[in-house]
Chain A
Amino acid sequence: KAGVTQTPRYLIKTRGQQVTLSCSPISGHRSVSWYQQTPGQGLQFLFEYFSETQRNKGNFPGRFSGRQFSNSRSEMNVSTLELGDSALYLCASTITEPGTPIYEQYFGPGTRLTVT
């Protein structure tokens, strides 16, 4: 099976702009989670989508949003970019579904966002 793919891999944006990142999960995985990784804060959970619905959200401002499509592909959007949004954004997918045990998440290579 193909792994989790993320596009683009690298992105440079200017403060105030917005950005959209894309994630394609492993085939058959319906749950997609997003994380932000920075040197100072480490790996932090952004949100999780399952069956086109956001089921869980981390402590990030409303400028961070996401969505999931019927084919389980997911996008996250950051509006009004700030310098502090520079980070590696990781997407992960899992076969975990409601009522099942929690299984491991498989991560994509990430999108490196630089805000100048």
Chain B
Amino acid sequence: AQKVTQAQTEISVVEKEDVTLDCVYETRDTTYYLFWYKQPPSGELVFLIRRNSFDEQNEISGRYSWNFQKSTSSFNFTITASQVVDSAVYFCALSPHGSGNTGKLIFGQGTTLQVKP
């Protein structure tokens, strides 16, 4: 089975707090890709990061950082010093690399992040 689980439905923090969004995935494929997307109230999904299954190096981009651990099938996303503009729904997605999976992203249910001033 191929599945993405985002156990946190909603998170509320106060501005400047750090927050971590959890993502756990399931796949039997050895080659796969993981993504994070942000969906602000406007509705358009915005790409944040892509990671392949052979690259477990963590990544930092400004206030954003991602922790990929194959041993626990997790790909968590941390926002440092959150801001009100970070308020959105965040989706983790999986794309196994196989001929039967072309063009398909498997999304988690999303985590709604509310950052209060």
Binding site for B on A (CB under 8 A): 31-33, 35, 42-45, 47-50, 55-56, 58, 88, 90, 92, 94, 96, 101-110, 112
Instruction: List 6 A–B pairs whose Cβ atoms lie within 8 Å, in order of A's numbering.
Output: A33-B103, A49-B103, A56-B103, A96-B103, A110-B43, A112-B43
Binding site for A on B (CB under 8 A): 33, 35, 37, 42-47, 50, 52, 91, 95, 97, 100-110
B107: min CB distance to chain A, Å: 4
Distance between Cα atoms of A56 and B99 in the complex (Å): 9
Residues of A with C-beta under 8 A to B108: 42
Distance between Cα atoms of A33 and B105 in the complex (Å): 9
- Is the Cβ of A105 less than 8 Å from the Cβ of B110? no
Q: B97 is contacted by which of A50, A102, A107 (Cβ under 8 Å)?
A: A102
- Is the Cβ of B43 less than 8 Å from the Cβ of A109? yes
User: B100: nearest residue on chain A (CB-CB)?
Assistant: A56
Residues of B with C-beta under 8 A to A112: 43
Residues of A with C-beta under 8 A to B91: 43
- Is the Cβ of B103 less than 8 Å from the Cβ of A107? no
Most buried by B among A32, A103, A107: A107
Residues of B with C-beta under 8 A to A47: 103
- Is the Cβ of B103 less than 8 Å from the Cβ of A94? yes
Distance between Cα atoms of A3 and B42 in the complex (Å): 15
Residues of A with C-beta under 8 A to B105: 33, 35, 43, 45, 92, 105
| A90-B45 in contact given A42-B107, A101-B33, A102-B97 (Cβ < 8 Å) | yes
B54: min CB distance to chain A, Å: 10
B11: min CB distance to chain A, Å: 17
- Is the Cβ of A42 less than 8 Å from the Cβ of B110? yes
Residues of A with C-beta under 8 A to B106: 45
A95: min CB distance to chain B, Å: 12
Distance between Cα atoms of A94 and B35 in the complex (Å): 13
Q: B103 is contacted by which of A50, A90, A101, A106 (Cβ under 8 Å)?
A: A50
- Is the Cβ of B104 less than 8 Å from the Cβ of A109? no
Closest 8 CB pairs of A and B: A48-B103, A107-B45, A43-B107, A33-B103, A102-B33, A104-B47, A55-B102, A109-B44
- Is the Cβ of B44 less than 8 Å from the Cβ of A56? no
